[in-house]
Amino acid sequence: MANKNEEIEEEIEQADELIDPPEIDSKYRMIILAAQRSKQLQRGANSRTDIDIRKSKPTRVAMKELSEKRVNFEILEPIK
């Protein structure tokens, strides 16, 4: 059991190092990203910030994660 916990901790550390999101260029993109992340949190995703998810709404947690750049995302070009 301890071996599995060590593997999970290593994966978390590696995931933290890989987060390098682009700048959020508009308030509309921020709203869309926060809504998507909020859905993930509601479905059981772990919070990546120090805010207590039991006392805060998922949207507030998602907004804080995005402002702290703890959520990775890509901005895709539209298909022409």
Does residue 78 belong to any structural domain of this protein? Answer: no
Is 34 within 8 Å of 57 (Cβ atoms)? no
Does residue 76 belong to any structural domain of this protein? Answer: no
- Threshold 0.75, pTM exceeds: no
pLDDT tens figures, 13-32: 555 556 788 888 899 999 99
pLDDT tens figures, 35-66: 999 999 999 999 998 888 889 999 999 999 99
Does residue 54 belong to any structural domain of this protein? Answer: yes
Q: Which domain holds residue 39?
A: 2-67
Does residue 62 belong to any structural domain of this protein? Answer: yes
Give me the number of domains the chain comprises. 1
Helix, strand, coil percentages for the chain (3-state, nearest 5): 55, 0, 45
Does residue 80 belong to any structural domain of this protein? Answer: no
